[in-house]
């Protein structure tokens, strides 16, 4: 792994920032316990310096559905606070962002947008793929699908399709009242597939019987059954189940991961680089989990090709041993804002390497047509 102290490198100058809001329609509405998504609207940041561009997208929603952060809040924080602190400055490495980002409370999704764009720019300035500067160990990552809540018949069709395409794991979104029967039907049709469920926080301790019923289907894990801000009760539930719990919303930092694993709140962690504040935090969580002998996998937030590319590079780290959520972009979008297709083959997603950094390039013409708002921050 490259380390800033051993790299003779002038650093990266950030001369200007381009901040957009982009909106892509989804081919199919995506239903989870907190609501239905018909499109993906997200902030897109392009940092420019030394003739290079570092790009990243945000994973916050327009309203605080998945977690507390929102696009309007992130745009204000980026425009008024974070970007003025980095535009016009030179950074030896992304690690130098820490004193700028860490004093501000929370807002990890907004911080991640800046941090991830700087990693891309830094890797490009070193003429290396992002996976190389992160310390990744593979050129393909195993992926599965995440299937939204749908009637049993439709769900069985989607599972059949994903399995026939070679995806390595099928994750079913569940919610109260849309759970045991659907899982039972899918398991009966596919006795041997790697199957998981994701409740996106819909259950409480009063639903223990439902979670115990799900314990009968040899699930690889049950993802985030309880509240986003509650690891304590996850430990209570885990103690009564054979199936591993996987934490998503509840884990924002390596400290969260340590506390959760110390009390037995789960045995798997879903790392989303856009949720935890960027690659430094994502890697710290990855390392903490490895120290506990706990496997991790790379989640997704219906990202465009830019966020997908970041996720794929992250998932090349050694302890990402369970299939991630970065399935083919064509499952979600008819057109993407990047030029390269990101398509899985037999459940394996190749790491994009069309050039250094994240290895994908913006399709500027299409980007213009899906941009709702654009502004520039100059030094």
**Residues near ligand OSB, by CB under 6 A:** 32, 66, 146, 198, 200, 248, 299-302, 325, 327
Residue 181 falls in the annotated catalytic set? no
- Give the CB-nearest residue to ligand OSB: 300
SS3 of 15, please? coil
Our CB check for ligand OSB shows the closer of 201 and 243 to be 201
Smallest separation (angstroms) from Mg ion to the CB of 260: 15
Smallest separation (angstroms) from ligand OSB to the CB of 50: 32
Q: 123, 88, 134: which is closest to 9 by C-alpha?
A: 123
Smallest separation (angstroms) from Mg ion to the CB of 224: 5
Instruction: Find residue 13's DSSP bridge partners.
Output: 90
Our CB check for ligand OSB shows the closer of 21 and 329 to be 329
Give Cα separations from 206 to 134, 199, 264, 282 (angstroms): 42, 15, 20, 32
Among 198, 220, 325, 336, interactor with Mg ion by CB under 5 A: 198
Report the DSSP pairing between strands 140-142 and 145-147: unpaired
Mark 221-244 as b/e (b = at least 16 C-beta within 10 Å). bbbbbbbbebbeebbebbeebebb
Smallest separation (angstroms) from Mg ion to the CB of 340: 26
Neighbours of 175 (CB within 10 A): 17
Our CB check for ligand OSB shows the closer of 61 and 115 to be 61
Our CB check for ligand OSB shows the closer of 126 and 309 to be 309
- Residues whose CB falls within 8 Å of the CB of residue 185, separated by 6 or more in sequence, listed in order: 152, 155, 156
Distance CA 285, CA 296 (A): 9
19 binds, among ligand OSB, Mg ion, none (CB under 5 to 8 A by kind): none
Among 248, 303, 325, 336, interactor with Mg ion by CB under 5 A: 248
Residue-by-residue DSSP string for 300-353? --S--HHHHHHHHHHTTSTTB-S-BS---GGGT-SS-SBSS----BTTEEEPP-
202 binds, among ligand OSB, Mg ion, none (CB under 5 to 8 A by kind): none
Q: What angle do CA 208, 212, 213 make, to 5 degrees?
A: 120
Our CB check for ligand OSB shows the closer of 46 and 301 to be 301
Our CB check for ligand OSB shows the closer of 121 and 358 to be 358
Site residue total, Mg ion (CB under 5 A): 3
336 binds, among Mg ion, ligand OSB, none (CB under 5 to 8 A by kind): none
Distance CA 31, CA 205 (A): 24
Smallest separation (angstroms) from ligand OSB to the CB of 180: 20
Q: Is 91 exposed, middle or buried (0-12, 13-18, 19+ CB in 10 A)?
A: buried
Element (H, E) at 142: strand 140-142
Smallest separation (angstroms) from ligand OSB to the CB of 113: 17
300 binds, among Mg ion, ligand OSB, none (CB under 5 to 8 A by kind): ligand OSB
Our CB check for ligand OSB shows the closer of 91 and 320 to be 320
Tokens encoding 319: 């302890």
* Part in contact with Mg ion (CB under 5 A); list of ranges 123-131, 248-256, 335-343, 354-362: 248-256
Selecting among 48, 173, 194, 322, the annotated active-site residue is 173
Smallest separation (angstroms) from ligand OSB to the CB of 328: 10
Distance CA 200, CA 192 (A): 25
* Part in contact with Mg ion (CB under 5 A); list of ranges 129-137, 159-167, 201-209, 223-231: 223-231
170 binds, among Mg ion, ligand OSB, none (CB under 5 to 8 A by kind): none
Residue 272 falls in the annotated catalytic set? yes
Q: Do 187 and 179 touch, CB atoms closer than 8 A?
A: no
Applying CB under 5 A, the residues found at the interface with Mg ion are: 198, 223, 248
Which residues are catalytic, by number? 173, 272
């Amino acid at each position: 792994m490259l380390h800033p102290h051993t790299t003779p490198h002038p650093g990266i100058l950030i001369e200007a920032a381009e901040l957009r809001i982009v909106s892509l329609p989804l081919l199919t509405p995506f239903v989870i316990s907190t609501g239905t998504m018909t499109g993906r609207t997200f902030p897109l940041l392009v940092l420019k310096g030394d003739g290079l561009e570092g790009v990243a997208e945000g994973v916050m929603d327009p309203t605080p559905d998945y977690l507390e952060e929102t696009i309007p809040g992130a745009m204000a924080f980026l425009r008024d606070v974070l970007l003025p602190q980095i535009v016009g400055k030179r950074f030896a490495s992304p690690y130098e962002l820490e004193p700028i980002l860490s004093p501000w409370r929370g807002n990890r999704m907004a911080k991640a947008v800046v941090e991830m764009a700087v990693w891309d720019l830094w890797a490009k300035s070193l003429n290396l793929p992002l996976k190389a500067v992160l310390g990744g160990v593979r050129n393909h990552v195993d992926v599965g699908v995440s299937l939204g809540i749908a009637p049993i018949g439709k769900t069985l069709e989607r599972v059949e399709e994903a399995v026939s395409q070679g995806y390595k794991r099928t994750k079913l979104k569940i919610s109260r009242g849309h759970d045991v029967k659907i899982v039972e039907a899918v398991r009966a049709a596919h006795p041997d597939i790697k199957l998981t469920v994701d409740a996106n926080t819909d259950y409480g301790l009063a639903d223990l019987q439902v979670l115990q019923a799900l314990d009968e289907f040899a699930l690889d894990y049950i993802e985030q059954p309880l509240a986003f801000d509650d690891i304590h009760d996850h430990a209570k539930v885990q103690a009564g189940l054979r199936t591993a719990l996987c934490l998503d919303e509840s884990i924002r930092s390596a400290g969260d991961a340590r506390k959760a694993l110390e009390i037995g709140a789960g045995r798997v962690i879903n790392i989303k680089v856009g949720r935890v504040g960027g690659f430094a935090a994502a890697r710290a969580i990855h390392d903490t989990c490895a120290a506990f002998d706990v496997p991790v996998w790379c989640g997704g937030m219906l990202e465009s090709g830019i966020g997908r590319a970041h996720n794929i590079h992250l998932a090349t780290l050694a302890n990402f041993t369970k299939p991630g959520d970065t399935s083919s972009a064509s499952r979600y979008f008819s057109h993407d804002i990047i030029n390269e297709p990101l398509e899985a083959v037999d459940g394996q997603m190749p790491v994009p390497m069309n050039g250094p950094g994240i290895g994908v390039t913006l399709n500027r013409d299409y980007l213009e047509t899906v941009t709702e708002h654009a502004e520039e921050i100059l030094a």
